[in-house]
Amino acid sequence: MKLSKPRSQKTSKQNKDMISNIDITGLSEEEIARLEAEAALQKYDKESSYRNNLKKVPNTIVSIILISFSLFQLGTSILGVLPAQLQRSYHLAFVIALVYLLYPARKGGRKDIIPWYDVVLAIISTGLILYIPYNYRYLMANMGNYRPIEFIIAVAGILAVMEACRRVVGIPILAVVCAFIAYAYFGPYMPGFLWHGGYSITRIANYLFYTTEGVFGTPLGVSATYIFLFILFGAFLEKTGVGKLFIDLSNAIAGKAPGGPAKVAVIASALEGTVSGSSVANTVGSGSFTIPTMKKLGYKPEFAAAVEAAASTGGQIMPPIMGAAAFLMADIIGVGYSKVVVSAIIPAVLYFAGVLISVHVEAKKIGLRGMDAADIPSIKTIMLERGHLLLALVVMITVLSMNFSPIFAALAAIATSIVSSSLRKNTRLKFQDIIDALQNGARSILGVAIACAMAGIIVGVVGLTGLGLNLANGLVELAGGKLLPMLFFTMISSLILGMGVPTTANYLITSTICAPALLKMGVPIMAAHMFVFYFGIIADITPPVALAAMAGSAIAKSDPFKTGITATRIAIAAFIVPYIFALNPQMLMIDVTAIGIIQILVTSLVGMYAISGALGGYFLYHVYWYERIILIVAGLMLIYPELITDIVGLIIISIIGVLQTTRKKRELQKEKGTTI
């Protein structure tokens, strides 16, 4: 087995630069990797760079607010959700107070104190948001006929949310929101299909703050109901130790295979990512041990980081939760949750098959072996000792498939996670674990909720100005009425809009702005929404931003841009499959028989192997340049769900396979002859 060289002094210096002010003398490589992972998480995931070293009194106050927030959400979910505007207002009030208390105004700010001005901002911002529930009847009775004081409060409230967004989510989505607000005002000066009559600042501010079409729109409503509960469910699952269970199961399944630890990283990240809802957090969380392990095995740093980033990003498209997007999609397009999950299965399988094949190809190319049998746990032992922790996921999926509401499913899953953990002493949740889960869940929603409030502003402007229809018409005209150019323009738009934006807000934005153009071209609604969702998500591994790839690169000590390029190659299925299901929705199990599903799955997997092998430079043996081109063409033919293309593709790949096998035998015989 090929091993990497020991760490050099130069590498140690890089570690010290990254985790400055920490003495790493005497620490193990695993401990250093963990510290580097924490530093990378804070650098690339703004949601993780909160004040985590507060002194006793402020820490106690923040903890009480966090726990109260979780209890409020649980209480309203059990006893009945409040009227939309009230529920969303109280939800955002908790969020905005916590953002100002937990997140410094500038990068690198102190993590052990809360400055007086942030306390003042937290109080004022909370008051601005609570103005709505405290004056609810007056605002409802005088809708559209507000006093100057309401206008001032609206402007101040929107600015407070924007500043909170800058702190916890980042500049990209804030810039997009500012551009949309400017568009609402400067409509009369816009060219072509972007023109509209324009609105006054007063109208824009009041519309975006006092109605359920802006800050307090549907995106925040989703956050204030079931997204919070599913994030809380994830926090409870984490406390039960299900993450370690996923890793051990992955080791048992793939550890013996060539390049086993890398395949373990893919499988574990897929399982964790679907629950976590954050590509960057998942990359850093599991990458802190998978990336060093892959490097030790012999993988290049860029490849190790890219594998983890691609797998973690793919967790967002992995059923059943899909980073909470499955519930959003079901709600927006008006279908059952189970239909969304079923439609997402084949594309997700192809995505992760592509990543696993890339790992396998690389392992074969550089001659790596799997893990020693002694180091691989038994599936039977794992399931007997900790299999009960999966009951919560089983309950959630079962309840959702029975068409119960997502709120009920999340509550049932949370309750099951607590009860099932008690079945064994070593997994039983203590009281402090429950308190920690309540705090972690509330803290984890902050970035999502603020991003949803900002997404609500975008959706509100689109509705106010009619931009959705105008943009769809404009893109159709730009594409010349042709579907393929339209898909390309939509892909680029979704990649740009998805840069640096959390999964839920990402989908809400792309589905509002980009999906209508595809619908106008006759793409089925499920395929259109899946298309923009996929490309919005993989912005996390697509240069130049590629936050997940950057985070993985920081741990692997690799070149960030090369890591992003490698991650894009590994995740090639995410760039191919959406085009296929947009052109032929059978891949989403729309209007297809059981036999058709099997045919699509089998031929598509063979096609993915051909494409991944071509891009990686190894199919059954090392490939020539012209074989790469032929394999890519044949692979695409197999992925496209048509009988004729499947037959032709299989014939071509079979011929290449025979030629490669023959060449491999000939060259091996030549090597033996030379040796003798």
CB 11 within 8 A of CB 301: no
Q: Which of 130-144, 200-214, 318-332 has the lowest mean pLDDT?
A: 318-332
Q: What was the pLDDT predicted at 97?
A: 96
Q: Which of 162-166, 246-250, 639-643 has the lowest mean pLDDT?
A: 246-250
Q: For tokens 């039977």, what's the residue?
A: 380
Helix (H, G, I), strand (E, B) or coil at 460: helix
The number of residues in the chain equals 676
The pTM of the full predicted model, rounded to 2 decimals, is 0.80
Is residue 1 scored above 70 in pLDDT? no
CB 454 within 8 A of CB 177: yes
Average pLDDT over residues 152-157: 95
Q: Which of 179-183, 519-523, 549-553 has the lowest mean pLDDT?
A: 549-553
Q: Which amino acid is at 374?
A: A
* Dist. CA 449–CA 453, nearest whole Å: 6
Q: What was the pLDDT predicted at 81?
A: 84
pLDDT band at 152 (very low <50, low <70, confident <90, very high): very high
The token duo for 8 is 């050099």
Average pLDDT over residues 500-512: 81
* Dist. CA 74–CA 229, nearest whole Å: 8
Using N-to-C axis directions, what is the helix angle for 279-297 and 260-276, rounded to 10°? 170
Is residue 87 scored above 70 in pLDDT? yes
Give percent of the chain above pLDDT 90. Answer: 24
* Dist. CA 240–CA 418, nearest whole Å: 8
Q: Which of 231, 242, 588 is nearest to 394 (CA)?
A: 242
Q: Which of 6-20, 174-188, 472-486 has the lowest mean pLDDT?
A: 6-20
Q: Which of 275, 298, 272, 300 is nearest to 284 (CA)?
A: 272
Q: What was the pLDDT predicted at 3?
A: 39
CB 400 within 8 A of CB 409: yes
pLDDT tens digits for range 358-408: 888 887 777 766 666 666 778 888 888 888 888 988 888 888 778 788 888
Per the omega criterion (within 30 degrees of 0), is the bond before 502 cis? no
Per the omega criterion (within 30 degrees of 0), is the bond before 544 cis? yes
pLDDT band at 311 (very low <50, low <70, confident <90, very high): confident
Q: What was the pLDDT predicted at 27?
A: 60
Q: For tokens 């309950």, what's the residue?
A: 395
Residue 271 parent element (H or E): helix 260-276
* Buried-exposed string 217-233: b where 16+ CB fall within 10 A, e elsewhere: bbbbbbbbbbbbbbbbb
Q: What was the pLDDT predicted at 415?
A: 93
pLDDT tens digits for range 252-291: 777 677 767 677 777 777 776 666 666 777 787 777 777 8
Q: Which of 180-184, 410-414, 637-641 has the lowest mean pLDDT?
A: 637-641
pLDDT band at 162 (very low <50, low <70, confident <90, very high): very high
Using N-to-C axis directions, what is the helix angle for 431-465 and 228-240, rounded to 10°? 150
* Dist. CA 295–CA 267, nearest whole Å: 18
Q: What was the pLDDT predicted at 124?
A: 96
Is residue 163 scored above 80 in pLDDT? yes
Is residue 7 scored above 50 in pLDDT? no
Q: What was the pLDDT predicted at 484?
A: 87
Average pLDDT of the chain, as a whole number: 83
Is residue 622 scored above 50 in pLDDT? yes
Is residue 72 scored above 90 in pLDDT? yes
* Dist. CA 255–CA 375, nearest whole Å: 9
pLDDT tens digits for range 574-589: 888 888 888 888 888 8
pLDDT tens digits for range 24-64: 555 655 566 666 666 665 666 666 677 888 888 999 999 99
Q: What was the pLDDT predicted at 473?
A: 82
Is residue 200 scored above 90 in pLDDT? yes
pLDDT band at 208 (very low <50, low <70, confident <90, very high): very high
- Helices (DSSP H) in 80-200: which residue ranges? 84-102, 116-134, 136-141, 148-168, 171-185
Helix (H, G, I), strand (E, B) or coil at 369: coil
Q: What was the pLDDT predicted at 9?
A: 36
Average pLDDT over residues 437-442: 93
Q: For tokens 């605002």, what's the residue?
A: 139
* Dist. CA 511–CA 468, nearest whole Å: 10
Is residue 239 scored above 60 in pLDDT? yes
Measured in whole angstroms, the distance separating CA 4 from the mean position of its chain's CA atoms is 31
